[in-house]
Structure 1
Amino acid sequence: MIGGTSLLVGFIQENRAQVVLNEIQVGYATLILRGAIHFVQHLGCTPSVQINAYNNADPGLLTLGLNMFRCPDGVPSTTFGQTEDFIMNSKRTISAYPLDVNEASRTKCGLPI
């Protein structure tokens, strides 16, 4: 990260693997495995600047439909341009994987929960 405030960077390596979350500040870096479901969530309310780098590791078998709901709140709705209600209704049909919740940053910036 080269400018701004905190970023939450996360990725899912493969089916049933742990969700990897890193909060980074200016001067910090994180690597995301090629092919992994990933996201970068800005935790502040001012602009930030980042550079993303990917390695060549094989993330294994990854099922998008089951794993995208493991991202923090707001990531799927923003990514797919859908409402939270739509995402939550979709999530209910795939109950095997928990959703990691990060509502604090959205509340802090006055964004809908």
Structure 2
Amino acid sequence: LVFSFFNPSGGVATGAAGHTVAANSGTFPAVVGNGVAMTVGFLGPCGMNTPHTHPRATEINLSVNGTLRTGLLSENGARFVFNELPPGSMTVFPKGAVHFEMNDGCDTAMFVAGFNGEDPGVLSLAQRFFGLPSDIIDPTLGSIGVQQVQGLEAKIPDNIAVGTDECLKRCGLLRPPAQPIAQHQANVKAGSGSAE
């Protein structure tokens, strides 16, 4: 009945600037029937847990060390909510709200996210958006053209991504020439429901 976030047997998602470790119904069966789950994030300097949602749970997020910048959008027309979380501070991300966490510091930061569901799910917006059929993506982005859409997809980094240029400059870091891009959703053929 013990899950180690420092030596996990599963539930790890890794990008160029850090990783998250999730203890949920799929990785830690002890939570089944208890209505809880937890994720711990390890964000390198300027690392960002990119915009995402949890479709089945509300999240409380505690900054353990380092100051995190967080933001959320709860629905169309709602105001953007920005917070700075110094160590020992927490915030709430309502179920389904688009949100992010970014380490605004030059040292590794850790956060602990608790969920009120054993399978909160996660939908990383940028990494999954281009999995929609090209004929849906194109008009959604103002008919920029399928070729440009495919070019954009190849540039979206895996989560945890390298954050803002301002943070990198302040920390004396360079943006890597490339970040891993393995977390993309396979594009669906128009009208078929199957991957291209």
TM-score by length of 1: 0.52
Deviation at 1:16, TM superposition (A): 2.1
Flag the 1:55–1:21 CA change in 2: closer, same or farther, 3 A: farther
8 Å Cα contact 1:12-1:18 kept in structure 2? yes
Structure 2: distance between partners of 1:54 and 1:111: 34
Task: Tell me how many residue pairs correspond in the alignment.
Answer: 74
Letter paired with 2:108: P
1:49-68 alignment, distance < 5 Å: 49-54=110-115
Flag the 1:55–1:11 CA change in 2: closer, same or farther, 3 A: farther
The equivalent residue for 1:36 is 97
8 Å Cα contact 1:10-1:19 kept in structure 2? yes
Larger radius of gyration: 2
Letter paired with 2:70: V
Deviations 1:27-79 (CA, angstroms, capped at 9, x unpaired): 111111111111101101211111123569xxxxxxx9xxx6xxxxxxx5xxx
The equivalent residue for 1:22 is 83
Structure 1: distance between partners of 2:90 and 2:81: 14
The equivalent residue for 1:73 is none
Unaligned ranges ≥5, structure 1: 57-63, 69-75, 81-89, 95-101
Unaligned ranges ≥5, structure 2: 1-62, 118-122, 128-137, 143-163, 176-196
More helix by share: 1
More strand by share: 2
Q: % of aligned pairs identical?
A: 27
RMSD (Å), alpha carbons: 3.0
**Runs of 4 or more above 3 Å deviation:** 53-56
Flag the 1:30–1:111 CA change in 2: closer, same or farther, 3 A: farther
1:1-113 alignment, distance < 5 Å: 1-3=63-65, 5-54=66-115, 80=127, 93=141, 103-109=165-171, 110-112=173-175
